[in-house]
Structure 1
Amino acid sequence: MGITTTGIGSGLDVEGIITKLVALEKQPLTSLQIKATIIQTKISDYSQVKALMSTLTDTASKLSLDSGWNSLSVASSDSTAVSATVTGIASATSFSVGVQQLAKAQSTVSSAVTAGVSVGSSGTLTLQLGTWTSNAFTAGSAASVPVTVAATDTMAQIANKINDSGAGVIATVLTDASGDRLMLRSSSTGESAGFRIQATDDDGNNTDSSGLSKLAFDLAAPTAYGMGANTYQAGQNAKATINGIAITSTTNKFAGAVAGLTINATEVTTSNVEITATNDKAAITTNIQAFVDAYNAVNKYLADATAYDATTKKSGDLQGDSTAIGMRNMLRSMLGTSVVGGSLTHLSDIGLSIARDGSMTVDATKLSTALDNPANVKTLFAQKNTDASTNGIARKVKAFADGLLAFSGGLNNKADALAAEVKRNSDDQDKVTARAASVEKRLRTTYTALDTKMAGLTALSTYITQQVEAWNSSR
């Protein structure tokens, strides 16, 4: 506030009077600001509850779906030769695998040219993927790819052109004492990933080993020439047997032969390798423990937030909040209900007990024993009945939590209600502030007028006094 002269005329402490009167008008702000802090605390609390409830629904989801109960532990009697991984919905099983042949990519190498020197002939190399059967070639579905070669191109430049063409053939240059050689390999393994390279040499000699023709690979030609005349590795499929039944694959992975499992071959075997897939109790136990931990986190947070400590005479942020109390009671009640459809009807049957404070404890020994028959435990958690009230525990908890987390669910509705309270509180504070400003303006106007009037009366009083004194003096 700037310098003011109000009060000089009257001699009153006008600023002090106005300040105190305005402070009285602003008194409601204190309670409104305290209320605003309480509302913001509740918003923070419910944000945390929402996060904890989201974790709970995630853990419940794992126990309500088949995938949460299909955890298998896969063992191999010789993992250096054959192993297996779970890649889908699989069941406990065992079988023997023998590997007769590993998958390979077709590969070949050209004759040498002087290192760093061009091939010396221009033309086109046409690359085609397909399958070689003896000396007959069956083209695959991919179109042939032409690669144009200049007479000045070196082996390295030709290799770059082949790699850039995307023809499915990988080219590299091998340099030895004889010079540069072009090495070619299919980018994929298997018989169907073989390749043929036909040369159209601008010198007209397309089927000899001079010029560009030395880079051709065509076993179907009447006379072997180019790279076809050199030693090469034919593309081949992996071959194996499962319990004596022959299977093949273009790679060293056999997917789909055994439902839900992918078999990985790394060596040819001389004797069968035993693969055993058993239910993974450890993984299922981890999922159940995660569910218990998520529930306990929600229960403790709500318990602390709604509690009243008689010793310290302090209440939790949500003490008396019906929404928070209702959520906690509903979850606790849900975990104590029975499940119809299996030999296990209550969580206590598998070692999960609810304490007086609502927390859940796990009897590891009892749970381990129950998981010797995982199907029964699965029914307890994941059973789906016509009557939803008798569904598996995880299904009921997930449905409840999903409802709370839904766009129009309880937690979002509560958040909207609290946001509306914040808005009303802010509006009320603005009204109090505006009213106080109006009162201050009115008071200043009133006291300014009073001050002016008092100043005038004081001046008149002084004048009269002076006149009386002068009159008395003259007499």
Structure 2
Amino acid sequence: MGISSTGIGSGLNVENIITKLVALETQPLTSLQLKATIIQTKISDYSQIKSLVSTLTDTASKLSLDSGWNTVAVSSSNSAAVSATVTGIASATSFSVGVSQLAKAQSSVSDAVTAGAAVGSAGTLTLQLGTWGPARANATGSLFTPGSAASVNVTVAASDTLAQIAAKINDAGSGVVATVLTDASGDRLMLRSASTGEAQGFRVQANDTGDGNNTNDSGLSALAFDLDLDPGNTAAPTVAAYGMGANTYQAGQNAKATINGIAVTSANNSFKDVVAGLTITASAVTTSDAELITTNDKAALTKNIQAFVDAYNAVNKYLADATSYDDATKKSGDLQGDSTAIGLRNSLRSLLGTGVVGGSYKRLSDVGLSVARDGSVTVDATKLGTALDNPANVKILFAQKNTDASTNGIARKVKTFADGLLAFSGGLNNKADSLAAETKRNMANQDKVTARAAAVEKRLRTTYTALDTKMAGLTALSTYITDQVAAWNNNK
């Protein structure tokens, strides 16, 4: 900043004068900045209100949907072997489950080769998923029915080790997982279906170009697995088992169980929707049936209702505090007098006070939910627990849906109202847009005041600089005349 000499010529305290005049021009900034702070506080308040209303919507949604009332608890007399989880609309019931077989994936292991050594012959392994069975008439083989997935070819070089072949099989995405096992005898190739079940069995056929023989136990053919040895001869195959097919293996199998004596199967150990709304999981074979019992879960229903009450109370309290005025302290809430906040609180309170048509319970107070004078809701746990002995009637109070929306359940009404508030063109977003526009206008007004004050300061400095120049000239003339008169007098 340059050195200012304004006032030297006139002898006036020009800087002080300009500072005070400019301060008068910027005085409106104080009120505008205070208003900006108030607007930002309101924006923060409405952001919090929006979050609280969103939580209220979520809790009301649980009480508005059938799934929110389909809360059942499942117990098993042998949970180590049989368990169940609720995955849909389930009813209170009981049934017995016996498990005779668990699902398994097909797996096989090759003979050992020298650790790290190459297979020694080139060719192609063809992997195909499908189902083995039935067994041949003479029990020397089994028929193979390919699945819907296309077969996959894996090209093997004569220099490839088992580890390299395993990597190629895994990269091929055939549905067969390859692993190398190393023991005292050397390396072995282990193959396993990626999924359990009879239909996830696999066949591996070798096209061994290295030794020209695809049905022996040397080279690439040692890694084959095929029980359908002579497809053209269903009675007595003429080709002996070779490769992995000649070794002990685990066949793919489905899980088998009985539910109240009815046989059921599954490709994995989960039986989904065999009993409506439940997924039964088998973990072990049973020697006696396990008893599964499903009962209405009053604890879960109580938790959902309490969550709804807590969410409503949180919104009500925040709005009450924000719109309040304390006579004793003479302090008001951030939204005191705000019609949107006041209207929102009154509307929510009104919704909780409405009744429903149909069912045994007409109002919230009938099931132990009481609305106090301040709008808060309290829960009589004993009365609510008694009502939930028959959850269907309580469900009507909260979730009923009618053609006339005014007669809908309480939670459904609250959800509809809250969804409207949170909608793109809803009340809360409109309020946020209004406050954002008000902020923009406030900042524009602040910029105008600042610009006007800068213009006034510039004009004042120009004016006083001209005055200083004029006064300096007059002072110099006055001094000259005074000096001349003095000289004349001295000469005389």
Shift of 1:105: 1.6
Partner Cα separation in structure 2 for residue 469 and residue 172 of structure 1: 121
For residue 16 of structure 1, what is the aligned residue in structure 2? 16
Tell me the amino acid that sits aligned with residue 146 of structure 2.
A
Matched position secondary structure for 1:257: coil
Shift of 1:4: 2.3
Partner Cα separation in structure 1 for residue 307 and residue 477 of structure 2: 91
Partner Cα separation in structure 1 for residue 461 and residue 207 of structure 2: 104
Tell me the amino acid that sits aligned with residue 335 of structure 1.
L
For residue 141 of structure 1, what is the aligned residue in structure 2? 148
In the alignment, structure 1 residue 166 sits paired with structure 2 residue 173 = yes
Shift of 1:78: 0.1
Partner Cα separation in structure 2 for residue 7 and residue 424 of structure 1: 39
Shift of 1:67: 1.6
Partner Cα separation in structure 1 for residue 456 and residue 106 of structure 2: 94
In the alignment, structure 1 residue 179 sits paired with structure 2 residue 219 = no
For residue 214 of structure 1, what is the aligned residue in structure 2? 222
Pair 1:442–1:241, CA change in 2 (3 A): same
Pair 1:162–1:419, CA change in 2 (3 A): closer
Gapped runs of 5+ residues in structure 2?
A: 136-141, 230-236
Shift of 1:253: 0.9
For residue 212 of structure 2, what is the aligned residue in structure 1? 204
Pair 1:205–1:454, CA change in 2 (3 A): closer
For residue 60 of structure 2, what is the aligned residue in structure 1? 60
- Of residues 170-179 and 372-381 in structure 1, the stretch that sits farther from structure 2 once superposed is 170-179
For residue 74 of structure 1, what is the aligned residue in structure 2? 74
For residue 472 of structure 2, what is the aligned residue in structure 1? 455
Tell me the amino acid that sits aligned with residue 120 of structure 2.
G
Superposed CA offset, 1:346-388 (max 9, x none): 1111111111211111111211111111111111111111111
Matched position secondary structure for 2:213: coil
In the alignment, structure 1 residue 257 sits paired with structure 2 residue 274 = yes
Matched position secondary structure for 2:124: strand
For residue 464 of structure 1, what is the aligned residue in structure 2? 481
For residue 42 of structure 1, what is the aligned residue in structure 2? 42
For residue 154 of structure 1, what is the aligned residue in structure 2? 161
Partner Cα separation in structure 2 for residue 449 and residue 179 of structure 1: 105
In the alignment, structure 1 residue 355 sits paired with structure 2 residue 372 = yes
Partner Cα separation in structure 2 for residue 408 and residue 120 of structure 1: 73
Shift of 1:304: 0.8
User: Of the candidates 268, 273, 283, which is equivalent to residue 285 of structure 2?
Assistant: 268
Partner Cα separation in structure 2 for residue 26 and residue 124 of structure 1: 88
For residue 202 of structure 2, what is the aligned residue in structure 1? 195
Shift of 1:270: 1.4
**For 1:309-324, what aligned pairs fall within 5 Å after superposition?**
309-324=326-341
Partner Cα separation in structure 2 for residue 257 and residue 394 of structure 1: 32
- Of residues 56-65 and 121-130 in structure 1, the stretch that sits farther from structure 2 once superposed is 121-130
Partner Cα separation in structure 2 for residue 346 and residue 332 of structure 1: 13
Partner Cα separation in structure 2 for residue 358 and residue 341 of structure 1: 25
In the alignment, structure 1 residue 298 sits paired with structure 2 residue 315 = yes
User: Of the candidates 400, 403, 406, which is equivalent to residue 423 of structure 2?
Assistant: 406
Partner Cα separation in structure 1 for residue 365 and residue 281 of structure 2: 42
Shift of 1:429: 1.8
Superposed CA offset, 1:138-175 (max 9, x none): 11111122222333333333333322322222222333
Superposed CA offset, 1:86-123 (max 9, x none): 12222222111111111122222223333333333332
Tell me the amino acid that sits aligned with residue 28 of structure 1.
P
Partner Cα separation in structure 1 for residue 455 and residue 249 of structure 2: 98
Partner Cα separation in structure 1 for residue 486 and residue 215 of structure 2: 145
Pair 1:146–1:464, CA change in 2 (3 A): closer
Partner Cα separation in structure 2 for residue 238 and residue 407 of structure 1: 50
Matched position secondary structure for 1:240: strand
Pair 1:347–1:452, CA change in 2 (3 A): same
Shift of 1:299: 0.9
Partner Cα separation in structure 1 for residue 116 and residue 461 of structure 2: 99
Superposed CA offset, 1:406-465 (max 9, x none): 111111111121122212222222222222222222322332333333333333333333
Shift of 1:249: 0.8
Partner Cα separation in structure 2 for residue 415 and residue 45 of structure 1: 10
Shift of 1:258: 1.1
Partner Cα separation in structure 1 for residue 355 and residue 197 of structure 2: 56
Shift of 1:284: 1.6
Pair 1:14–1:214, CA change in 2 (3 A): closer
- Of residues 75-84 and 454-463 in structure 1, the stretch that sits farther from structure 2 once superposed is 454-463
For residue 416 of structure 1, what is the aligned residue in structure 2? 433
For residue 428 of structure 1, what is the aligned residue in structure 2? 445
In the alignment, structure 1 residue 307 sits paired with structure 2 residue 324 = yes
- Of residues 216-225 and 303-312 in structure 1, the stretch that sits farther from structure 2 once superposed is 216-225
Name the % identity.
81
RMSD: 1.8
Shift of 1:273: 0.7
Shift of 1:262: 0.9
Partner Cα separation in structure 2 for residue 420 and residue 111 of structure 1: 79
Tell me the amino acid that sits aligned with residue 393 of structure 1.
I
Shift of 1:226: 2.5
Pair 1:181–1:420, CA change in 2 (3 A): closer
Alignment: residue pair count = 475
Tell me the amino acid that sits aligned with residue 224 of structure 2.
A
- Of residues 457-466 and 4-13 in structure 1, the stretch that sits farther from structure 2 once superposed is 457-466
Partner Cα separation in structure 2 for residue 121 and residue 162 of structure 1: 17
Partner Cα separation in structure 2 for residue 466 and residue 150 of structure 1: 119
Pair 1:24–1:220, CA change in 2 (3 A): closer
Tell me the amino acid that sits aligned with residue 67 of structure 1.
S
Partner Cα separation in structure 2 for residue 151 and residue 436 of structure 1: 90
Partner Cα separation in structure 2 for residue 113 and residue 199 of structure 1: 17
Partner Cα separation in structure 2 for residue 452 and residue 149 of structure 1: 101
Superposed CA offset, 1:182-203 (max 9, x none): 3222222111111222222222
Pair 1:412–1:180, CA change in 2 (3 A): closer
Partner Cα separation in structure 2 for residue 439 and residue 158 of structure 1: 86
Matched position secondary structure for 1:258: coil
- Of residues 173-182 and 349-358 in structure 1, the stretch that sits farther from structure 2 once superposed is 173-182
Partner Cα separation in structure 2 for residue 160 and residue 22 of structure 1: 81
Pair 1:27–1:148, CA change in 2 (3 A): closer
In the alignment, structure 1 residue 233 sits paired with structure 2 residue 219 = no
User: Of the candidates 377, 398, 402, which is equivalent to residue 385 of structure 1?
Assistant: 402
For residue 262 of structure 2, what is the aligned residue in structure 1? 245
